[in-house]
Structure 1
């Protein structure tokens, strides 16, 4: 900032953001009322009185170099970085409507003047060291699922009422997760068709207003800058937000509202990175978690917060006996998530795995089975036209039978060929997401003979691994792998429990039991 310039509401708010202070802390530092600080966002052109000009000058002079640099980013005074990354980021911010929507969302909810977020993000992209981001990703990869579960247990405690963290016992081995659940939410044996799949939409109206404080706005700007620097996909598509639950054996009930994905990506989805970075640094400081998800009551009161989430399923495909492979079995598919996805990157997970979101019909698509069938088409059978990260769809009914892939059409011709069930439900403490753990069983051996060669993961997977339900030793070893995402392991364990009940002689695996932490 040019020191001869006058302080306005906009620049005073930018200084607050640069200092990463809440309204209360900034007001205390200046010796004024909280309402005065809050009013500056509403009146960005307001010129401060002379005494306040002097106070703000003093605070600015006392700021560190890093804080002044952030202030320069927010006010558009930072020197432009001459780099290909900045040029590419500028081009994407100008051309990508999803990035534009995210920038507008930050301005609106941080109470910034239009264009402030764009200038802040553009300035920060030029300062990002791509090698530093890769090194950070490596450090994050060293943090195991057990480390995450232990840190969250320390933060929240292990239990509230009937709800606790899901733990699996595989033979003599115990594996922990960060999924908060209860006995009524497990072993649901719930067919994913009406009348069992009864989830509905209470309202499709826009979500209530939401305000970003200074630190939260800074983190949102950094997320967008890194998204642009690493060329990560971001789609501002509608997603379901959970409002209430009525879940028990043989029934999925409850209600959803609708939110935008950028709200999730720039708020709740930041909790995972903050947590893992804190663990890697040996720190307990997690200000975003303190604000968004401070205790287990906040986790369980899903209607009072943004509770996004998804559906993920263990896929088991019947294969006939083979003279080279051996006895008849089920093929189990496990993916390593790509580094280009926003959540659970580089972690093991079942496949398919996707956000629960409407495609074209807000009410019908609220059923878990609708999302699971769509994710099968997208992640297993290569339907790019239903991947909303690749572009908008203008098709009235993308899942119409005439548009299905050949493998999916063959499965849907006879209901007995395909078993789809929900096996468990939980709330993941990593980001507060809801998780519908499910099982897909392709019962007809002819499917593998006909279509096994066209089953292929999409861009969300880095690799795809297969395991046999006749290989007890290798599957046991897999379940102990620390690279699992918490929700992925939850779905894998629940899916294997159910598969052991319905799979007959094809399944020779160790006994799997669950318990709720106390």
Structure 2
């Protein structure tokens, strides 16, 4: 995860592009005076609109310019071990959990990082992305035995996931408002997680080698649940991101590497999720997770495109994200976590509203990975993006529902599959040009619900994340119910394996 732009990094981008100050200003469409100010004040943080311009300029730069920028901004391992407060917090946590003397984790991480090759780590990430959902489901079934996993039939296709679910958790059509979305935050601390210190040291060393950013933000950990038709209830406690990143988040990589190598030993899984009972017992373990939604935007009939439809948005996840890296997923998708109000933010809808603003409508100021949150109410109506304010201005323009719940057997995470429907056909002509994925996506794709063959090919893609495919399938089922005239698809029915 790349940190927020400063005057120094903006000037480095100018150097990487090999442009003069005047040419760089013209390239960005800003004044030369602004560029000069970045050189004079290297610690200044540009405003959010400028952050987006710089993000775009870097993303659209030629590969050689991107490589120069990466080399010029690559942080020294020793500097991050000493100065990055999030890395320092992670090292302190490892020392505490492992019973080591203070500073031991720092020494071990530095030694391990010196042995790693960044290019090899990047190649390994690409290889992991090639392991299919079917391979993952088969491996987990072999490990756990008969397991109630979600799968669906789309026409003649059988689509497998590794989402543990129940019939009463599916097709719940729960409006994400205060009357139906009733998760409640408690002060109960999350369950204690035992540490595999070698795995944690290796994870931190890889984080430093790849130059990614680890942010120790709070996460909601599910402690109890009551889900059914039209309702979500239960409780969540608070855990730290470091606890998750250095324990249960390691299970996915271990599993995929084992599949690739053709081995069956999974020592971390043996420690954290040894059986199905442990997976289901969310009260006695760390159960982080999130909310994700299929976004569907109504469009009118068009003489060139065809009949009225829903435009569907699908993302390819960046290699820099912690969750579902280089996988297909619906958008928005985010960890369920508080921003400023632990009680109010416990609602699933609070996470989705925030992620919609951040991931599609350009609100970098609410991205916890890019800087500290200083606003008392970052989702106050006066701060909302223009598209989101328009959607909320009149009832009926926007629908947000939870369509199903499951536990991701890969990581043990809880997953609230949801659907965001923009019903007003005026939205896309007005704001379609403003819809743009943030850094978490490497690409954003559009699909029409009037193209069954293309959607069939999409669903069969091996690159889907577990939770992404789950939310996609549940969202499509609900769209057919809401407006069948806009959806031309073969029958889509779920089943649960025995």
Interval of TM-score (by shorter of Structure 1 and Structure 2)? 0.7 to 0.9
Q: Does residue 123 of structure 2 align to residue 135 of structure 1?
A: yes
For residues 258 and 73 of structure 2, what CA distance do their matches in structure 1 show? Answer: 28
Q: Please state if 1:398 is matched with 2:378.
A: yes
Instruction: Give yes or no for contact 2:125–2:319 (8 Å, CA) kept in 1.
Output: no
Q: How many angstroms apart in 1 are the aligned matches of 2:211 and 2:134?
A: 30
What secondary structure, in the 3-state scheme, does the structure 2 residue paired with 1:189 have?
A: strand
Look up the SS of the partner of 1:199 in the other structure. strand
| 1:182 and 2:162 matched | no
Tell me how many residue pairs correspond in the alignment: 428
Structure 2 CA distance, aligned partners of 1:85 and 1:264? Answer: 28
Check the 8 A contact 1:238/1:357 in 2, yes or no. yes
- Aligned ranges 1:76-475 → 2 under 5 Å: 88-159=76-147, 164-203=148-187, 206-207=189-190, 209-212=192-195, 216-475=196-455
Instruction: Compute the displacement of 1:85 (Å).
Output: 11
What TM-score comes out, normalization by structure 2 length?
Answer: 0.84
**Preserved CA contact (<8 Å) 2:193 2:247:** no
CA distance in 2 between partners of 1:278 and 1:309 (Å): 23
Give the match's secondary structure for 2:326: coil
Deviation at 1:316, TM superposition (A): 0.1
- The CA deviation at 1:509 is 1.2
- Residue 4 of structure 1: aligned partner: none
Q: Distance in 2 between matches of 1:401 and 1:193?
A: 16
Cα offset for 1:261?
Answer: 0.5
CA contact (8 A) 1:381 1:405 kept: yes
Aligned equivalents of 1:404 and 1:114: distance in 2?
A: 44
The residue aligned with 1:65 is none
- The answer on whether the counterparts of 1:179 and 1:429 sit within 8 Å (CA) in structure 2 is yes
Give the 3 Å change call, closer, same or farther, for CA 109–445 of structure 1 in structure 2: same
Structure 1 SS opposite 2:76: helix
- Measure, in 1, the Cα distance between the counterparts of 2:73 and 2:173: 50
- Local SS of the residue matching 1:297: helix
Which residue does 1:11 correspond to in 2? none
Contact 1:197 / 1:369 at 8 angstroms: preserved in 2?
A: yes
Q: Secondary structure at the match of 1:424?
A: strand
Which secondary structure state, in structure 1, belongs to the residue aligned with residue 181 of structure 2?
Answer: coil
Contact 1:85 1:125 in 2 (8 A): no
CA offsets per residue over residues 113-146 of structure 1, 9 Å max, x none?
A: 1111111111111110122212322321221111
Q: Distance in 2 between matches of 1:141 and 1:391?
A: 29
Conserved? CA contact 1:187–1:494, under 8 Å = yes
Cα distance, 1:174 vs structure 2: 0.2
Task: State how far apart, in whole Å, the 1-side matches of 2:105 and 2:364 are.
Answer: 32
Query: 1:326 Cα deviation (Å)?
Result: 2.0
* Regions of 4+ moved over 3 Å: 83-87, 205-211
**Deviation of residue 96 (structure 1)?**
1.4
1:206 CA displacement: 4.4
Q: Which moved more, 1:232-241 or 1:487-496?
A: 232-241
Q: CA offsets, 1:340-369, max 9 Å, x none?
A: 011211100000000000011101100001
Structure 1 Cα separation of the partners of residues 454 and 295 of structure 2? 17
Structure with higher Rg: it is: 1
Shift of 1:422: 0.3
1:195 Cα offset (Å): 1.0
Note the aligned Cα RMSD (angstroms): 1.5
* 2-structure distance, mates of 1:319, 1:331: 7
In structure 2, do the counterparts of structure 1 residues 86 and 482 end up closer, same or farther at CA, with 3 Å as the change threshold? closer
Pick closer, same or farther for the CA change 1:377–1:84 going to 2, 3 Å: closer
Provide closer, same or farther for how the CA distance between residues 86 and 465 of structure 1 changes in structure 2, counting only shifts above 3 A: closer
Contact 1:156 1:296 in 2 (8 A): yes
Q: 5+ residue gaps in structure 2?
A: 1-70
Distance 2:385 2:204 in 1: 35
Q: Structure 1 length as normaliser, TM-score?
A: 0.81
Distance 1:413 1:126, change over 3 A: same
Structure 1 CA distance, aligned partners of 2:257 and 2:73?
Answer: 24
For 2:356 and 2:169, how far apart are their aligned partners in 1?
24
- Unmatched segments (≥5 aa) in structure 1: 1-82
- Mapped partners of 2:408, 2:297: distance in 1: 28
Q: Secondary structure at the match of 1:236?
A: coil
**By how many angstroms is 1:210 displaced?**
4.0
Question: Distance between the aligned counterparts of 2:72 and 2:182, measured in 1?
Answer: 50
Aligned partners of 2:285, 2:348: CA distance in 1, in Å?
21
Aligned-partner Cα distance in 2 for 1:84–1:191: 48
TM-fit CA distance, 1:207: 3.6
